[in-house]
Amino acid sequence: MPQPDLILRNARLPDGREGCDIAVADGRIQAVAPALPATAPQEVDCAGQLVSPPFVDAHFHLDATLSYGIPRINASGTLLEGIALWGELKPRLTHEALVERALAYCDWAVGRGLLAIRSHVDTSDPRLVTVEAMLDVQRRVAPYLDLQLVAFPQDGVLRSPGGLDNLIRALDLGVQVVGGIPHFERTMAEGAESVRILCELAAERGLPVDMHCDETDDPLSRHIETLACETQRLGLQGRVTGSHLTSMHSMDNYYVSKLLPLMAEAQVYAIANPLINITLQGRHDTYPKRRGMTRVPEMLAHGIPVAFGQDCCMDPWYSLGSGDMLDVAHMALHVAQMTGPAAMRQCFEAVTTAPARILGLDGYGLEVGCHADLVLLQARDPIEALRLRATRLKVWRRGRLVAETPPAAASLRLPGRPAATGFALSRG
């Protein structure tokens, strides 16, 4: 076995293994075991802290990110005003500005240990300036971040003139995933028709599907049923994702008891976007006010893989965000009331292993032979990482250190007590 380039010593792994050394050679994990006898030119003492594979964001809008305030702020904070505001911004978009903002966000992401993103790209503008800019970004970030692009017809493939043609042109340019927005088409029937057309397009081209699906509080928005049915009809099992699925929150329980097995049978994936949907849904409610997030624990119990997405960051729909998938999982945990230890671990998996599976990432994980894409956190386990939204102390991509952040620690000077330094909010 060749000498490793790098060894991480005394790491704790997300599955609970303690005292592990991780040897890295040629950008891949060479060995994972306690007290490896090998030595390496670079060795890092992890001091019993958590080493995880990188965070993965299964749902984002990189073409809109960091545009907060351009040309104005979303005053109502609603989804529909956000879509209208994006419509005002679109004619002003330039290739250079789109690339500059997207690259800035990717820098934030890497600093947060987020090394893979699936981004929807609006294909509604016939200029396709967003598509060309995001393909450019994809090429530029490839050495340090896996960016997967979805052709997303924000204005509807049937509702907007040329919507389907523009989406097909985006696929011809190299966009890798077929998107959709059936609940935004003019009628339920046209929404279902859009699902059929887009799934057939994906089947013809051998592409995956990821649709914005039922992002509404209307319990009768049931396009996920059509999506699951088309998945089975066209043999697309394991290649189709329903994003948002917020109407499921409001659906009748009897109907959901029939829907979830259908989704599981079709091997459809689900992506919840907790930061965005806790702020956008229930806007027509007085009190009680619905939370609006889809039924995450119930889907997991049916064996439906669920990931959490950031969705938006400082854009027409959401004024906050920082590329931190621990923030996303922390919110999901609260909204879904996933507070038991096993459920909290599932929340960590929903921003790491689950989205890696949905994106079909090659060589992801901590097994021997996987890419040496690793994050050292200032936390002892996934639950503490969530609780503290722990500092990402070091981030490696293919065995190369790409980001470092100093540990979070306070110094206390309390009356009647000796000064204390290096105070961290850990019980470890």
List residues binding Fe ion (CB under 5 A).
Answer: 311
**Catalytic choice (43, 200, 215, 349):** 215
The region that residue 245 occupies, defined by phi over 0 for left and psi between -120 and 50 for alpha, beta otherwise, is: left
Is 367 within 8 Å of 29 (Cβ atoms)?
yes
Could you give the residue ranges of the DSSP H alpha helices within 64-128? 79-89, 95-111
- Give first-to-last CA distance, the chain, whole Å: 35
Taking CB positions, which residue lies at the least distance from Fe ion?
311
The C-alpha atoms of residue 61 and residue 123 are separated, in whole angstroms, by 12
204 catalytic per annotation: no
The C-alpha angle 34, 35, 38, rounded to 5 degrees, equals: 125
Question: Residue 311 or residue 349: which is nearer to Fe ion going by CB?
Answer: 311
Q: Tally Cβ neighbours within 10 Å of residue 151.
A: 29
Least CB distance to Fe ion at residue 120 (A): 6
Indicate the burial class of 411 (C-beta count within 10 angstroms; 0-12, 13-18, 19 or more): exposed
Least distance in angstroms from the C-beta of 273 to Fe ion: 6
Cα(265)–Cα(43) distance, integer angstroms:
47
**Side chain identity, residue 263:** M
The conformational region for residue 229 under phi > 0 = left, psi -120 to 50 = alpha, else beta, is alpha
Q: Which residues contact 237 (CB under 8 A, 6 or more apart)?
A: 231, 266, 267
CB nearer to Fe ion: give 180 or 399. Answer: 180
CA gap 53, 114 in Å, rounded: 10
Name the residue among 295, 280, 324, 317 with its Cα closest to residue 117.
324
C-alpha span between 45 and 38 (Å, rounded): 14
Could you list the active site residues? 215
